Amino acid sequence: MALGARLTRRLWLAAGVSAPLGWSLAAARLLLRKEDDHFRISAPQIRFLNGKPLEQLKNGANVAFVTQITISTDTTVFPRRLDRFVVSYDLWEEKFSATRLGPPRQSVSRLNVPMTEAWCLDEIAPIPAALAPSTPFSIRWELRVEDPRESAAIVGEPGINLTRLVEIFSRPPKNSQQHWVETSGPYRLQDL
């Protein structure tokens, strides 16, 4: 199945599942699904390709995003999952391209805004499901537009510096730095 069709199907599925909830209750903005022995997240209601990042893209600049996922129980916080994406915009075709820089490096092109956002979230490194089936846990997802002044410290010759990414998420975002934070749960593996 083509990448575009797969992403479009996922977007419609997520919208179809969450839309009825939105009429009577606040729909969860962060969705979690289990694939084999891993978790994957989606956030069909979150729009991060808008405002200043979209303006920068349409002015020909690449925009980098850093993301962090934290899973916690009442007693344990598991190691964070960090990732980095760079999004660009083709002025002639009016389409977006995105590259996930963490291993394995992956790229996609010729997407519209919703498809690009969905691809970026779908390509976040899978999160190992290392919990007892009945243990309640929560998930926290953070996304920030990377400060261009910090790029040199994050990306070096051997690859991405995870220590610098952890440092970035250890401090609050700068006032001018766009960011999104979503927390969801509790979940249990046996219910997914």
Could you list the pLDDT tens digit for every one of the 192 residues in the chain?
555 555 444 544 444 444 433 333 445 678 888 777 777 888 888 888 999 999 999 999 999 998 888 888 888 888 778 888 999 999 899 999 999 987 778 999 999 999 999 898 888 766 766 778 888 988 888 989 987 655 544 444 445 555 554 555 555 555 556 778 888 888 888 887
Which of these, 178, 29, 49, lies nearest to 113 by C-alpha position?
A: 49
Q: Tell me 27's DSSP state.
A: P
Would you call 148 helix, strand, or coil by DSSP? Answer: helix
**Residues 6 or more apart from 33 whose CB is under 8 A from it?**
39, 40, 41, 42, 192
Quickly tell me which residue has 């891993």 as its tokens: 38
